[in-house]
């Protein structure tokens, strides 16, 4: 099972966490999403295409560094 860790500096509150979790969770191949408010990172577990994960984060209104 692959794991992808992306830094998303604009994560600032629970709303951000929920928005990104929901959007990335819909990407095909994603089995788990963990958004860490403290470290401002998004950890994606599964076989998802990394570019699709980045797009989902962008659709939620954020940008992966």
12 binds Cu ion (CB under 5 A): yes
In whole angstroms, the minimum distance from the beta carbon of 3 to Cu ion comes to 24
Segment contacting Cu ion by CB under 5 A, of 8-16, 26-34, 39-47, 49-57: 8-16
Residue selected from 6, 8, 16, 44 as contacting Cu ion according to rule CB under 5 A: 16
Q: Which is nearer to Cu ion, 46 or 59 (CB)?
A: 59
Q: C-alpha 3: how far from its chain's center?
A: 11
Residue length, the chain? Answer: 65
């Amino acid at each position: 099972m692959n794991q992808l860790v992306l830094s998303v500096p604009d994560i600032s509150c629970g709303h951000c966490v929920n928005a990104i979790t929901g959007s990335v969770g819909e990407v095909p191949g994603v089995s788990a999403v963990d958004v860490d408010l403290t470290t401002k990172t998004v950890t994606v577990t599964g076989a998802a295409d990394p570019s699709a994960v980045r797009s989902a984060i962008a659709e939620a209104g954020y940008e992966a560094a």
